[in-house]
Amino acid sequence: MPDTKKLRNRIRSVNSTLHLTHAMELVASSKIRRASERMDASVNHAEAFQTAIDILAGSEACAQSAWLRVREEGDTLLVVVAGDRGLAGGYNANIFRALREYPDAKLIPVGKRACDRFDPNGTRVLAETFAPAQARELADRLCRAFTSGECRRAGILYTTYVSMMSQVPKLRWLLPLTKPEKSQNASGMIFEPSAGSILETAIPAYVAGEIMACVRESFACEVASRRNAMDSAGKNARAMIDDLQLQYNRARQGAITQEITEIVAGGNA
């Protein structure tokens, strides 16, 4: 017969876990709206900048630009964006799994979990508080590495927001620039002093905007993934409590029945 005391202690333990998961779910839910607003603003800015860069990259004046040059020699430099905390389902694991396709790449981690994994002695760059100044500093680093020939391509591995229930790892290449397959309509546009000089000036800001948008989108995905994970954990905890409560009631009823049987047997004797 199951021990009622052990069952009671286990019910209490699972109930404490349920309170914890519920609290974390509420915290994640409170952050989703703010994170989504910041994500949308950054993504819209990056898309507008991308349109301008496509126009410049597709112009004849920039056809020989070093930013569009594809190289065969050099390293692959990747910015890896992971979460600041755990308990977010497969959010961090999916990023690290996607990174296995690039075993020789040099990595720049963003997010506490990525920093702990790839640069434990370095500065921990948090995804939640990632600022535009940090994005610009990181963009300058990527641009210097590309122009000096240290790397032949640079990209960012992050998590893209599909829906509240779905977040998917994605690799976005930042450098070299890709000439658009369909040229943007630049009729009537006048570039001063020239399209080439504008492209040279705009590249660092463009890369910084892309990094900022990817980090903010990744953080929104982390919050959504944590909320979903805590919701699932809460449902599992409630189901476990119901099962344990049923076992406890049966054990308690069995003990009472046994005591009554023993009393009746003693009275008859």
pLDDT the model gives residue 61: 73
Quote the CA–CA distance of 165 and 59 in Å, as a whole number: 41
pLDDT the model gives residue 252: 85
The structural domains of the chain, ordered by start, are 32-226 (3.40.1380.10)
pLDDT the model gives residue 192: 77
pLDDT the model gives residue 120: 87
Quote the CA–CA distance of 204 and 192 in Å, as a whole number: 19
Per-residue pLDDT of the chain (269 residues; tens, 9 = 90+): 567 888 889 999 999 999 998 998 898 988 999 999 999 999 999 999 898 888 888 877 787 888 988 888 889 999 999 999 988 989 999 999 999 999 999 999 999 999 999 998 888 899 999 999 999 999 999 999 999 989 999 999 999 999 988 999 999 999 999 887 765 555 567 777 888 888 888 999 999 999 999 999 999 999 999 999 999 999 999 999 999 999 888 888 887 888 787 777 777 76
79: left (phi over 0), alpha (psi -120 to 50) or beta: beta
- pLDDT tens-digit profile of 170-208? 999 999 998 877 655 555 677 778 888 888 889 999 999
Q: Count Cβ atoms within 10 A of the Cβ of residue 43 and give its class: 0-12 exposed, 13-18 middle, 19 or more buried.
A: buried
pLDDT the model gives residue 140: 95
pLDDT the model gives residue 39: 95
Quote the CA–CA distance of 10 and 25 in Å, as a whole number: 22
pTM for this entry: 0.87
Secondary structure, 3-state, 103-134: CCCEEEEECHHHHHHHCCCCCCCCCCCCCHHH
81 pairs with which residues across the strands?
Answer: 110
